[in-house]
Amino acid sequence: MNPSTDQTIHEEQEQRRRHRHRLGWLMVGGIALAVLLLLAGLMWPEWQRQAYFQELRTQGVGIIQVQPEVYLLSDLSDTLQDYVGVSLPLPKRPARLDFTQVPLDDETLLRFIDEPYLQDLRMAEAEVTSPALLEFAKQADGLRMLTVLNCDQISPDTAREIRSQRPDVMLEYRGTAYLGIQASDFEQGCVVYYVQPKSAAEEAGLSSGDIILEFDGVKVDSFAQLVELIARRNPGDEVVVKYRVANEIRERVTRLRGWTD
């Protein structure tokens, strides 16, 4: 065989080998790119979610998150970390959201209805309406604790309805008027164990160990009832507090404060 023919055949074989090699790498690269695009599409909502919660953090919202076990994603993330040094942003879900230092409105509240791991929500001076809070409490299945402080659009009737519909939720509710005590249930009324300095309670002469019997002419059977009675009043209202000190019954007139007074 002619040497030049041998060389030509060898060159053609080498070209075909290189072509197959390039095709192989192109296929591997295409598959890798397709996998990365698929993962990016799957993870994009999670990236957006985490960016949103990071924004809330920068605004001052207190957030505690949990990381649910997603075994396939966890294994894939570990593999990527081992081979290419990059891990996937694994899903995180809020377990507690604290809006007591940050305004909260209906639109923001209702975004959290479908958060399955959200157990504890706290708000103060929120612009949330009663219908929105009722809808949230009804549909947020994982909710177990709800704190509502000084929210002028949330009525005592709304708090009562939430307690009726969701007995599994521990609701701490306070209206806009402020007496200034911490107390617990007693067999007759409720017993005071803390009095806020310069509060309406201190002005009425209440101190730790006193037992509140009546609030503005209504018999007090529990601390929850007293909270509701206070919530039905407004800052600046004058009320009569009847209470027992040892064996002495006293009645005092005091003016309810606001939370920021």
pLDDT tens-digit profile of 157-184? 999 999 999 999 999 999 999 999 999 9
Q: What is the DSSP letter of 256?
A: P
Instruction: Report the CATH fold assignment for 178-261.
Output: Pdz3 Domain (2.30.42)
Per-residue pLDDT tens digits for 199-255: 999 999 999 999 999 999 999 999 999 999 999 999 999 999 999 998 899 999 999
Chain segment 29-39, per-residue pLDDT in tens: 666 666 555 65
Return d(Cα 98, Cα 120) in angstroms, integer: 8
Which contacts of 49-58 are long-range, i.e. CB under 8 A and separated by 24 or more positions? 50/89, 50/92, 53/92, 53/94, 56/97, 56/102
CATH pick for 60-175 out of 3.80.10.10, 3.40.50.1370, 2.115.10.20, 3.20.80.10? 3.80.10.10
Q: Percent of the chain scored above 70 by pLDDT?
A: 74
Q: Determine the Cα–Cα distance for residues 174 and 75; give it in Å rounded to an integer.
A: 47
pLDDT at position 67 is 73
Task: Taking residues 54-73, report their average pLDDT.
Answer: 80
CA gap 144, 118 in Å, rounded = 8
Helix-helix angle 130-139:156-165, to 10 degrees = 10
Q: Distance between CA 235 and CA 238 in Å, rounded?
A: 9
Continuous segment of H or E residues that includes residue 57? helix 3-59
Q: Residue 129: what pLDDT?
A: 97
| pLDDT tens, residue by residue, 117-151 | 999 999 999 999 999 999 999 999 999 999 999 99
**Whole-prediction pTM value?**
0.74
Comparison of pLDDT for 102 and 51, the residue scoring more: 102
Pick the more confident residue, 21 or 128: 128
Confidence (pLDDT) at 93: 84
Instruction: Tell me: pLDDT of 193 over 50.
Output: yes
* Confidence class for position 71, pLDDT limits 50, 70, 90: very low
